[in-house]
Amino acid sequence: MRRLPLTLAGLAILVTATACSAGSDSADHSVHEGHETGASSSATSQAASSPASGSLSASQGGHEHGQEHMHAMDGGPALEGIATAENPTYPKGTEVTLTTDHMEGMKDAPATVVSAYKTVAYAVTYTPTDGGPEVTDHKWVVQEELKGAGFERLSDGTAVTIEADHMPGMKGAKGAIASSTTQTVYMVDYEADGMIMNNHKWVVEDEMAPRR
């Protein structure tokens, strides 16, 4: 009779120890899983909220349907082979005010001349290759950015293939010349709506004025 209480006590201790052990494993596993889930959720959230490297939003100059006059924030270097203008009205480094409105925020924006060129600038109407709506009277594309254009000024209405890559859907697009000018063509840096646009292509001479 004395051995029975000891057996029951031992059994109780064994059951209690086993239960505690199971509870401890469960708690540790739950915490570990929760940490992994949280990390995964955080990474997923960051991936969803962060734009891919090099991508453009509409406010950064990306091309969206219905916003055909949006350019990249950095237009890149000048074209190879394009002739530099001699004694331009606005030499490199000149501070000017833009008087044109190719894009929202451009008119009256302060700008700095990066370089000046002697070429023909064309306003073109074209259909983007990315399925966007027709772009009408886009200003500007220069002679060197039109496939097989040669050296002679093209007539209004001439069918062209655009090799410029100012905006998504432009490179390789087919269109037609709307108008043209032989004014000095400038590449400029300018500020609009709190953003700096570098190497913007293109602005012609009568679309800028000396900075006052």
Is the Cα dihedral 138, 142, 144, 149 positive or negative? positive
Q: What's the confidence (pLDDT) of residue 72?
A: 67
User: Which residue reads 């010349």 in tokens?
Assistant: 177
The pTM for the full model equals 0.67
- Residue 165: how many other CB atoms lie within 10 Å: 15
Half-sphere exposure of 110 (CA within 13 A, CB side): 7
Q: What's the confidence (pLDDT) of residue 114?
A: 97
- Distance CA(93)–CA(91), nearest Å, equals 6
SS3 90: coil
- Distance CA(87)–CA(92), nearest Å, equals 10
* Token code pair at residue 75: 């237009």
Give the residue from 131, 126, 96, 130 showing the smallest Cα distance to 206.
Answer: 96
- Distance CA(185)–CA(194), nearest Å, equals 25
Q: What's the confidence (pLDDT) of residue 73?
A: 75
- Tell me the percentage of the chain whose pLDDT exceeds 90: 56
Low-confidence ranges of the chain (pLDDT < 70): 1-72
Per DSSP (E only), the strands in the chain are: 83-84, 95-98, 110-118, 121-127, 135-142, 159-161, 174-181, 185-192, 195-204, 208-210
Half-sphere exposure of 168 (CA within 13 A, CB side): 18
Strand 135-142 relative to strand 121-127, pairing: antiparallel
Q: What's the confidence (pLDDT) of residue 75?
A: 84
- Distance CA(29)–CA(31), nearest Å, equals 5
